[in-house]
Amino acid sequence: MGTYKCCLVFKRRFRWNDAPPPEDVRAIFATHAAGGGPHMPADGLRAYLQSAADSEAPDDADLERLLDQIRQLQGRGGRIPRVGRPLGLTLDDFHRFLFSQELNPPLRHAHGQVHHDMGAPLSHYFIYTGHNSYLTGNQLSSDCSDVPIIKALQRGVRVIELDMWPNSAKDDVSILHGRTLTTPVSLLKCLVSIKQYAFVASPYPVIITLEDHLPPDLQDKAAKVQLSTNTPSVLNYHLVCLKIFSSCHQMVLEVFGDMLYYPDTDHLKEFPSPDELKGRVLLSTKPPKEYLEAKDGGTMKDGDAELHLSKSAGDDVAWGKEVPDIQSEIQSATKHDDDDTDEDDDEEEEQKMQQHLAPQYKHLITIKAGKPKGTLVDALQSDPEKVRRLSLSEQQLAKVADHHGTEIVRFTQRNLLRIYPKGTRVTSSNYNPFLGWVHGAQMVAFNMQGYGRALWLMHGFYKANGGCGYVKKPDFLMQTEPEIFDPKKPLPPKKTLKVKVYMGDGWRMDFKQTHFDQYSPPDFYARVGIAGVPADSVMKKTKAIEDNWTPVWEEDFTFPLTVPEIALLRVEVHEYDMSEKDDFGGQTVLPVSELLPGIRAVALFDRKGNRFNSVKLLMRFEFE
């Protein structure tokens, strides 16, 4: 046995050197090498860079710096660095350059340059949005903490959601998910962490959505509050709500001070722009109200389905469920008539609440929030005098999208639409974000701890625009003439993306030799595809390359795109196993709008979205 293993180690060791530069790389090198010889001079590299990305030629200093960096890649390979002034790049140097995640990344603005116009009202942007940002795990029993809030802000998330409940003594405010076993974290701690980390990843505004809740038993307790024996108990209850509400807002004001933005007027006709709000924190909330369905356990009773899914999870553990098709989401939502509202709104009660709301706190709310009142279609009526934020569950959105797609798009041209996960997603899983995006919904709220395919799409989408957490909505979603965009109308392909997957490498550095297969090298295959509108969404795959740490696939894929503006390129590497589930070999999601044409090194990420040190693919992108 020992000898057998020893042989395998030996075999594995020299296997990885077997993969030579792909034919396409040789051909490009030959084109730009001096006189077709063995060296590519600086001018040859300059000409290649110019032709590949259709960009301006780098100046001499930039080119010299790049040549130095390419020579340093050589050193990492363990070879002796060349002494003296080299003749130029060898074929191996050039291949190493193309296969370097640092020097040859796939995205146009890889180094954090914000390049969208940031001067339009907030409603013109998709905004990186978290749901129940304080939970560390599932929605029922996980801990509440400011750590996930900090992590989200470090990733560039711009909307942090906090739920406010009075603590058990009813004299302070805690953050926790209502009616569940989640342990609380104090509001103050969350706010202080938000202040500390708000702008580490992006200078653009952070929006705090405060969901105000009161447990059902407080209504009775409210009677004990000695406000006035003559006041009806309902009003007493309202006053307790207000007390908590006011103390929350006072705390926000104290923590953020001048950092907190709020408008001079009660009602905004248009939201300010991300540029105007740089370095500011905004509040988006609604007045407190009774949590009616909480009395009978609310949405939690139908949560069991997902809690018990672990036994059938299998493949889903590593990969997350395959992102569901939008059409089938719409169909199932219209079939099941279960309104998934977080709470029932009572217009009359809310008006009473507004009257008693201390004015100094009311005006702190820049983005006034509300749940749909009346029918969902009524809720989408836009008021020319004031803008607001509407919240819909993913199911409510699917239902209203079935017949009223253009009304949703029209609403989101001036107002903000927030989509939140349905109540049954107790394992903090997520949904297909494109249903929201294609209707112009700015805040597609995701459980940032719900690792898997849906969250990878979210991570990938916000790599655009320098990772600043704001992505400008494409023009077609904002246009009113000749007509409002109809997400259901079939469109012809606008662009074709051609993708070639050459090879992969890096697993031999980042994983143990027995990580994938106990007794042989891994058998990798790549899944490549598009997430976008239904017409564009597809996944394809390469064949598996057996027993090789540096697989060479050399396979081409063609993706016609009807809405390339919001499409995402999906890449997954699987390790094939005949009798078991595939092992996870890495993933990435890239915004198609920012893909650089030409041969590129594509870094892969683990299932939590952290970049592997070395795992990468060599790919080529072309647009037609």
Show which residues are catalytic. 131, 177
520 in contact with Ca ion (CB under 5 A): yes
Minimum distance, C-beta of residue 547 to Ca ion, in the bound complex (Å): 5
Minimum distance, C-beta of residue 515 to Ca ion, in the bound complex (Å): 8
* Cα 477 from Cα 124, distance rounded (Å): 9
- Pairing, β 443-444 against β 416-420: parallel
Q: Output DSSP code: residue 503.
A: E
Structure tokens at 196: 């500390």
* Cα 595 from Cα 561, distance rounded (Å): 14
288 vs 586 by CB, closer to Ca ion: 586
CA-to-CA dists, residue 599 to 16, 192, 397, angstroms: 21, 45, 40
Minimum distance, C-beta of residue 556 to Ca ion, in the bound complex (Å): 25
544 vs 566 by CB, closer to Ca ion: 544
513 in contact with Ca ion (CB under 5 A): no
Instruction: Kindly indicate which of the ranges 155-163, 402-410, 534-542, 572-580 contains the residues binding Ca ion, using the contact rule CB under 5 A.
Output: 572-580
Q: Which of 171, 348, 361, 399 is nearest to 262 (CA)?
A: 361
288 vs 585 by CB, closer to Ca ion: 585
Contact status, residue 176 vs residue 184, Cβ threshold 8 Å: yes
108 vs 541 by CB, closer to Ca ion: 541
One of 143, 346, 577, 622 touching Ca ion (CB under 5 A)? 577
Sheet holding 568-575, edge to edge: 538-541, 524-531, 568-575, 583-591, 598-605, 611-623, 495-505, 552-561
CB-based burial, 139-160: b 16+ in 10 Å, e otherwise: bbebebbbebbbbbbebbbbbb
Minimum distance, C-beta of residue 521 to Ca ion, in the bound complex (Å): 6
Other residues' Cβ atoms within 10 Å of the Cβ of residue 196: 12
Beta bridge partners of 38: none
290 vs 583 by CB, closer to Ca ion: 583
Beta bridge partners of 107: 595
One of 207, 273, 583, 618 touching Ca ion (CB under 5 A)? 583
CA 294 to chain centroid, in Å, comes to 30
The number of helix segments (H) and strand segments (E) in the chain equals: 21, 19
Contact status, residue 473 vs residue 440, Cβ threshold 8 Å: yes
Show contacts with Ca ion in window 531-550 (CB under 5 A). Answer: 547
586 in contact with Ca ion (CB under 5 A): no
Minimum distance, C-beta of residue 567 to Ca ion, in the bound complex (Å): 31
DSSP H helices, 482-554, are 507-510
516 in contact with Ca ion (CB under 5 A): yes
Close Cβ partners of 580 (under 8 Å, ≥ 6 residues apart): none
172 vs 606 by CB, closer to Ca ion: 606
Minimum distance, C-beta of residue 546 to Ca ion, in the bound complex (Å): 6
22 vs 585 by CB, closer to Ca ion: 585
Instruction: Kindly indicate which of the ranges 14-22, 103-111, 432-440, 567-575 contains the residues binding Ca ion, using the contact rule CB under 5 A.
Output: 567-575
Minimum distance, C-beta of residue 520 to Ca ion, in the bound complex (Å): 4
247 in contact with Ca ion (CB under 5 A): no
Interacting residue ranges for Ca ion, rule: CB under 5 A: 516-517, 520, 523, 547, 575, 577, 583
